[in-house]
Structure 1
């Protein structure tokens, strides 16, 4: 018997196990976030923190990848995005495990006493540049409200001794970010350089830092092969999520 076709809805993105509405979020569901959610190491995670959750994408992906005992806090500054993240969580199979907090992570981290085995963030990428259409998109795109040094400092106060802090960044921002991380005691443990197609230069980098030193594992990932179809490695990484894989 053939499988029923997925019902694709407007104003969001349909995954195999959940739907992410994002029409009230400055930053939409995209490949960067999907890669980070599928790539971040979860084997030892018991408590997870998503900094700047936006639509709730990363929190939902990590809930799918982890046992029912794992709890996830998702913090979002923008009120409309936080409301939409909460709606997405409530419509998902993991509503009991994910808590959305509408708050400034800088203040929230001071008041919070929990520690996390895994912290993830798809952070603002760039210093302030060309003016965006809305203040919400500027906050999501530029580091004016959460610069990389502050993000690293906050993660350092909230991570467990054996935890991981994972981010996705443009290649041009990754070296400076890594330098700042190492200067305050983070150790780079995992790095995946991502290229759009085989033979092209990487344009994104997935990074995992830990408070503990250890072996560094580095590899490369091409999203598409020479035929422009998704590569085998990208398919293997994301097939638990994409409907069309």
Structure 2
């Protein structure tokens, strides 16, 4: 979790242009989601889908980045989280551009005729294991209700030919996810390995896939420099969002 989190009477996270309440969401606002929302490509994007929106963080970040040009659908299975995401959207400057749907993505995807230039997800990544404190947190944390093959298949139904599917995962899970995606006909086009410090191994990976083959752009992002301050690259990526950056 970033040091930029504000201590407020409300349970949530204040950004430069919006506030995200997350007290009724299993997974709280964190660096993973913020990195993904700031990193995903948005050039010439007019329709965006956020799968498993939780608090609505990614939908709100992408609304800010697209400056009025994109319509965003945000799908969330958990009713409490979906309601809170809707409230966060209504309190934001982009309430006219974001629609929150409380639905199972498999059912919802089968009902759609529209296609999206960008699909984004901060997906569950743990196999079923040690029980979490609540059923809601298990939904958000484990792949039992949205395994990676299902996520990839749903995205395949909904993506445009030139569109991108972007996810953030632990580095240890990223290789498995890439193999599953390639097996379903996706092409890896963007990869950013994220390390906490220069001398540390990557702990997260940002991945961008497309149905269309093309060059792979790969890079490494270090969050903190030798002085423990945020690196120039991290600041450049997230400055538009963090309140005191």
Following TM superposition, by how much is the alpha carbon of 1:69 offset from its aligned partner in structure 2, in angstroms? 2.8
Q: Which residue of the partner structure matches residue 147 of structure 1?
A: 147
CA shift at 1:114, angstroms?
1.1
Residue correspondence of structure 1 range 233-244 to structure 2 within 5 A: 233-244=233-244
Instruction: Decide whether aligned partners of structure 1 residues 237 and 128 sit closer, same or farther in structure 2, where only a CA change above 3 A counts.
Output: same
Aligned to 1:156: 156
**How do residues 22-33 of structure 1 correspond to structure 2 at under 5 angstroms?**
22-33=22-33
Counterpart CA distance in 2 for 1:137 and 1:8 is: 23
Which residue is equivalent to 2:3? none
Counterpart for residue 54 of structure 1: 54
Q: Which residue of 2 aligns with 1:183?
A: 183
Q: 1: CA distance between counterparts of 2:125 and 2:45?
A: 26
Task: Tell me the equivalent position of 2:21.
Answer: 21
Where does residue 125 of structure 2 map in the other structure?
A: 125
2 CA distance for matches of 1:231 and 1:69? Answer: 30
Aligned-partner Cα distance in 2 for 1:171–1:200: 12
Matched residue pairs, number? 240
Taking the aligned partners of 2:43 and 2:239, their CA distance within structure 1 comes to 18
Ranges of 4+ aligned residues in structure 1 off by more than 6 Å: none
Corresponding residue number in structure 2 for 1:172:
172
- CA offsets per residue over residues 34-86 of structure 1, 9 Å max, x none? 00000000002110000000000000000000031310000000000000000
TM-score, length of structure 1 as denominator length:
0.96
The match for 1:213 is: 213
Tell me which residue corresponds to 2:134.
134
- Gap regions ≥5 residues in structure 1: 1-5
Matched residue SS, 1:107: helix
Distance in 1, matches of 2:7 and 2:63, equals 22
TM-score by length of 2: 0.96
Q: Distance in 2 between matches of 1:32 and 1:60?
A: 15
